[in-house]
Amino acid sequence: MKNLITRRTFVGGVAGAAGVAAFGGPSMAQLALPKEPVALNVIDVAGNLALTQKAIENYRKAKPNLVSRITFTKAPAPELAGKIKAQQDAGRVDIDLVLTGTDALSAGIDQKLWVELLPAHAAALPKLDDIYLPAAAKMQTLAKGQGVVVTYYPSGPLLEYMPDKVKNVPTTAEELLAWAKANPNRLIYARPANSGPGRTFIMGLPYILGDSNPQDPAKGWDKTWAYLKELGQYIEYYPSGTGAVMKELGEGSRDMTVSTTGWDINPRVLGVVPKEAKVGALKGFHWVADAHYMCVPKGLSNEKVAVLLDLMNFLLTKEQQAYTYDEGYFYPGPAVKGVTLDMAPADSQAAIKEFGRPEYEKLIADNPIELPLQPDQMVVAFRIWDEQVGGSKRK
């Protein structure tokens, strides 16, 4: 059984395979595949390997003429941009493919770390608008051509709680604040810069609270920042990642957290959180969608870029997308149209049948699905949260 905590935490350095090409690079028409197989180093800062590692390994098996071996590494999202920038400045980039959420995607766009994939290499990739689910196609616009969506889910924000501990379940933002005040240190969530549920929560609050501009954290989130500061008075500390949050919820040291469909289902599948945990949504709730992206750091050889584009094509086939149902971690998971649960591996089907929630279908159908912040605005939101809300109480 996969380990929820370790697969989202740093597990070591990345093996070397330095790239030498000039930053940027020619179009795919000029990129030749290697005559000898290459080794690839994949770094995951989003927990995405839970969804895609089997499919990536399938690629290696299917294309031994292109790939000799693949090394998988995991790291916290906030550390990635600095790591890649240092390698680029030294002319020794040994990370080939980055699997990331909107957090490190945004930081990399801000610091100009990524190879332009679209439109530069559009001819080498599927016609994304034709194959993506509508919401996944919208998420693709956030990449600014510098990443390609590989998995998608409507995300949250949801409240997750233990029903034996939380008798009066909050149904509004005001009730959540009152509950936290009456039950100090029993609510927890992780630092948004390294937590899908954390950032989904702060991006969802402007819709719930009726803020002036949900897409402008600096000028349009007056109610949200005031709310988060007040709520923070009753939160003991903010863990560095969601895995630690779910561990505390499961062990009983906290009674409630913010969650998403996948972070609700998967920890219960893995036994980290008891099966009987419940979820709810606050009045005025909008989904804030989430996706994982494939990004390529500048500084790789053209041959490697050619292989990575071929790998992206492979991962976007329906057959490989079916693996992304996983055990509900990014539920549903597929970004591509026409990928149904009955196409997924048997263990995925069994896990979602047992631990999925029938109410999700109605919640998804009945509530608006919004895009998360644009990358530059997400960087601003993380900075303000760190400075004004939780920076002094991070752990």
- For CA atoms 149, 152, 154, 156, the dihedral sign is negative
Report phi then psi at 201, rounded to 5. -60, -50
CA-CA distance, 51 to 47, in Å (whole number)? 8
Residue that has been written with the tokens 């090409």 in this structure: 21
Per-residue pLDDT of the chain (395 residues; tens, 9 = 90+): 333 333 333 222 223 233 333 334 444 456 899 999 999 999 999 999 999 999 999 999 999 999 999 999 999 988 999 999 999 999 999 999 999 998 899 999 999 999 999 999 999 999 999 999 999 999 999 999 999 999 999 999 999 999 999 999 999 999 999 999 999 999 999 999 989 999 999 999 999 999 999 999 999 999 999 999 999 999 999 999 999 999 999 999 999 999 999 999 999 999 999 999 999 999 999 999 999 999 999 999 999 999 999 999 999 999 999 999 999 999 999 999 999 999 999 999 999 999 999 999 899 989 999 999 998 899 999 999 999 999 778 76
Per residue in 210-267, pLDDT (tens digit) is 999 999 999 999 999 999 999 999 999 999 999 999 999 999 999 999 999 999 999 9
The pLDDT of residue 393: 80
Residue 120: CB atoms within 10 Å? 17
The count of residues in the chain is: 395
CA-CA-CA-CA dihedral for 185, 46, 58, 38, to nearest 10: -140
The CB-based long-range contact list for 378-384 (8 Å cut-off, 24+ gap) reads 378/102, 378/103, 378/106, 378/199, 379/106, 379/107, 379/110, 380/217, 380/218, 381/192, 381/199, 381/202, 381/203, 381/217, 381/221, 382/103, 382/192, 382/193, 382/199, 384/217, 384/218, 384/225
Task: Enumerate residues 6+ apart whose C-beta is below 8 A from 250.
Answer: 267, 271, 272, 273, 274
Q: Could you tell me how far CA 42 lies from the centroid of its own chain?
A: 16
20-42 b/e with 16+ CB inside 10 Å = b? Answer: ebeeebeebeebeebeeebebbb
Task: Yes or no: say if 185 and 235 are a contact pair by the CB < 8 Å rule.
Answer: yes
* Cα end-to-end span (Å), the chain: 27
Q: Side-chain half-sphere of 291: how many Cα atoms within 13 Å?
A: 33
CA-CA distance, 15 to 18, in Å (whole number)? 10
The pLDDT of residue 23: 36
CA-CA distance, 328 to 353, in Å (whole number)? 10
